[in-house]
A = this chain, B = another copy of it.
Amino acid sequence: MAGATKTYLDLIQECDGFPFPDQKNYARITSQLYQFRLKKVWRGDDDESDRGSANPDSYVTVGWMLASVVDQVPWTDKFRVDHGAQTVSIPWPTEGPGSALEHGSFESQAILEQLQLARKLDRVPILRKWRNESYRILGLSDGREVRMERAGSAVFGINTVGVHVLGFSRIEGLKESEDNLRLWIPRRSPTKQTYPNMLDNTIGGGMTAEEDAVGCLVREAYEEASLPPDYVKAHARAAGAISYFLVRDERAGGPEEVGLLQPSTQILYDLELKAGVVPKPSDGEVAEFLLWTPAQTIAGLKEGRFKPNSSLAWIDFLIRHGYVTAQNEPDYLELVSRLHRRLHF
């Protein structure tokens, strides 16, 4: 990697490669995709007329699917695939569920059966990585909860939420003129399936349907860095979120998964590790924790040594803490907005 220099915008583009609606290639690229749609809203009594309806206005898009993946999936009769409109939808049944909660369960069950069937027939390679973890589908405004097995999120291209923790310490005994901030940066295990050996956020993981952001944070901090739950709860500070629309490359899961679409949102926490609190690898996913100055971290980012979405979390940290500024970074305004992409669902 020596000599390779990436800009912050290059790093963002690697993680947020899906085009924007005002860009030239947007129409061409989206014309090849299928929209995964759920019924927009459960309205109770006045909902009867909508049962089984195919009216596009009564649906909301919650994911983007590759046409090649739509071809792989052995669709069950709970789904309606429209090759003309390029949509994959779950209509509500003409009889059955009568509340928002029941509708959410009906849709969750339909998705689970569909993914289990595709997995059993081994039709969709990424489903070999079945996780037994449920994620919530975002973009529904009526409060009903629809769940999807984690391994299916890249199949349907739904927006998934995770938590990224940026850990730091303050070094005592330095001169006034010296910067006392140090960042805790793990190197991923060389045997890890995705992004082996790359540098990472201090702690990170996906938020399951059963937990909230703090629950996820506390669990991951213990699993990945052996940090005590009470300490983490007392010292983690909410610090915003990053969002991006990832198009998977080889490093994310091998050649069979290239091109899968993964819009994602990562909720950020800053976590100061005070004297005597040190992260330790525990679940075998981390090879070692480095304690780097901001300047070392910036150099590592520019050399492309960080996992793509972790690059974004650290860039956001460096912006929030005044290291990357409008004075020293020509793309400042563009990269601040690119770190917070508005996802449509």
A interface residue numbers (CB < 8 A to B): 20-22, 138, 161, 212-214, 237-241, 243, 265, 267, 319-322, 324-327, 332-333, 336-344
Contacts and interface: CB of A to CB of B under 8 A. Distances in A.
Contacts of A138: 333
Contacts of A336: 240-241, 243, 340
Contact of A22 (B321, B322, B344): B344
A319 B270 CA distance: 12
B161 A327 contact: no
Contact of A212 (B238, B243, B327): B327
Of A138, A325, A340, most B-chain CB atoms within 10 Å: A340
Contacts of A239: 319-320, 322
A138 to B, nearest CB: 8
A270 to B, nearest CB: 8
A344 to B, nearest CB: 6
A237 B321 contact: yes
Nearest to A20: B342
Nearest to A330: B143
A341 to B, nearest CB: 6
A243 B20 CA distance: 17
16 contacts: A21-B21, A138-B333, A161-B333, A214-B327, A237-B321, A238-B324, A238-B325, A239-B319, A240-B320, A241-B326, A241-B336, A243-B333, A243-B336, A265-B333, A267-B332, A337-B340
Nearest to A161: B333
Nearest to A318: B238
Contact of A267 (B238, B326, B342): B326
Given A238-B319, A241-B333, A319-B240, A326 B212 contact: yes
Of A213, A240, A342, most B-chain CB atoms within 10 Å: A240
Nearest to A333: B265
A243 B326 contact: no
Of A212, A322, A339, most B-chain CB atoms within 10 Å: A322
Contact of A320 (B267, B320, B337): B320
Contacts of A341: 337, 342
A340 to B, nearest CB: 4
Contacts of A214: 327
A326 B343 CA distance: 17
Contacts of A340: 336-337, 339-340
Contacts of A243: 333, 336-337
Of A237, A320, A321, A326, most B-chain CB atoms within 10 Å: A326
